[in-house]
Amino acid sequence: MGSIVKLECSRGDYEETINIGQGMRDYDPVNFLDMFSKEARTMIQSVADSGKLWSYSKKPALCNKCHRYTAVPVFEISGTKNDRLIGISDCGHDGCMVFENGEIEDTVKCPKCNSVMTVSNVGFWD
Ligand SMILES: [Zn+2]
Ligand SMILES: [Zn+2]
């Protein structure tokens, strides 16, 4: 089950709600492949077919292009820290700065006015 996280600027000029974590159908790459580039899809499929351990989840990120918080699909091959593939974010861009799980709570500043943001868990998704 994934979390729905709401980020609110303490000055009130920006807010965003993002879905992070894993959904119920994410055990099968078929259900998330379309969020990755063609090249990454081939690699994900071959990792899955080879029986290697892998994990997949949506992680919080800051988009460098539209300057807002978003969620990006991240595929990691277990045991090989550098082997991870990052897909297209919910805002439709690539090259976003990915936060690791939990990191978002302490570090987020409003992309518009740089004030502290309140981060709260507002629900769950599957
Ligand atoms: Zn974007
Ligand atoms: Zn702000």
Count of structural domains, the chain: 1
Domain membership flag for residue 79: yes
pLDDT tens figures, 92-125: 998 899 987 656 776 789 999 999 999 999 999 9
Range of the domain at 55: 2-120
Q: Examine residue 41 and state whether it is found in any structural domain, yes or no.
A: yes
Name which of 120, 23, 111 is nearest 69 in CA terms. 111
Contact 90, 68 (CB under 8 A): no
- Is residue 126 in a domain? no
| Domain annotation covers residue 42 | yes
| Cβ(7)–Cβ(122) below 8 Å | no
Of the listed ligands, the closest to the CA of 115 is 2
Share of the chain above pLDDT 90, in %: 81
CA of 45 to the centre of ligand 1 (A): 26
Dump pLDDT digits (tens) for 55-66: 999 999 999 999
d(C-alpha 126, C-alpha 24), whole Å = 5
Cβ atoms of 68 and 110 within 8 Å: the answer is no
The number of the ligand nearest the C-alpha atom of 66 reads: 1
Record the tokens describing residue 93, joined without a space: 């861009």
